[in-house]
Structure 1
Amino acid sequence: MTETNPEAARPQGYLRMLQVEEPLSFYPFDDDRLQETQIRLERRKKSTENNSFTSIQKSFVDVLAENRFVCFFIIQGNKNFHSNHTLNLRKRLALNFHDRITTLVVFCGDSEGEPLFCQGTGFTSFPFSATLMSVLNIAQVPSLVVLDTQTGRPIHSDAALALEWNNPHEVLGAWEQEQSGLTTTQKAVSVVTLQSNCTIS
């Protein structure tokens, strides 16, 4: 059982609606484990092979207290999470943002592969629910939705693209100024390519 930090701020906005009482499994960042699991996922190795997964139990409130921004990474379970895009995004979020953004991974459907997917990433697993899909307005998966813990609201519709395309320092600086994190050219490209939203397709 985990203990909640009594000084941690109460979740706001959407995060308040999504608050869960049960402890969440946090998978500490480990570059070697990240690389090892990335290879296993790319080769579609079963999660039951050589299992030695490590996680720490944390409360929802304590997880949110670690960083200003929280990213919900919603992916398809049922062993269908091996697409190149999903795995590239996993690697980018883990390597570049694990100590800057709190990433909550939500498996839709079968979550058997979740420990392998999260191992070494610095991600925290979060339970799937119809409420979460409704509150975050998720129409398809995989999706990324980034919220500001200070307001509990989504920061910008182009957050996923900013995470994927730009330098972490620049992205976070833009978000702190309530900007999208995309350059003018990138905004134009996102509109032309129909990517100007939080859904990764």
Structure 2
Amino acid sequence: MDERELKLNSLSRYSKSSSMFVLEEYGHCEVPAGCGGVVLRWRNPRNGVPLRMLLYVNGDGEVYLDGEPPPSGIPVVPFGEHVLALELALADPAYAVLSFAALFPPESPRVRATGPDEPSVSVLSAADGTWKYTAQAPGDDWTSGGFDDSSWRPMVANEDLQPPEDPERDTGRWRFDAVRRRGGAGLGVPEPAARIWIRKTFEVGEDGDA
């Protein structure tokens, strides 16, 4: 076997790096196709940041990001202003309605990235007046960025969870605790409602600080 053949079959030829693109490595259960193995993905950092979204909701609901359901739990969100919107059935003031955390970079050691420096971003549920809701059905454009939500009410802090039907399979508590560990607070409403609509406007800046 000559020297040329050894070089062609060397593992070093698979090593990748770029000053313009980010190489992401997903291992173990972070692999989109399931547990096991490794997935590599090139990403253009100028397109935005992949926000890892964690959500707890009490009951059924729909989630929208800029008017569309997020394509995955880690969507690439462009730089600029965005709207997270939720439509939830049945809001009980005795219990938390939702908690939310969206972070970049991810805290999981099973996701590694190499490439240019990128901004840190966090969007966390909080009783700070920026998470608003209404119990009256809004217009069709309520999930978009120019919608007037000045008449909507602010959500309130609530960390109490509704008891699960099956205490041995309390997936809601697991989701809630996962969000809380990352800084997202439980939010509720002061009055009961058969259905509520929620909006949170946030910005992803090229220098961070969403």
Report the TM-score, using the length of structure 2 for normalisation: 0.28
Greater percentage in strand: 2
Report the TM-score, using the length of structure 1 for normalisation: 0.28
Greater percentage in helix: 1
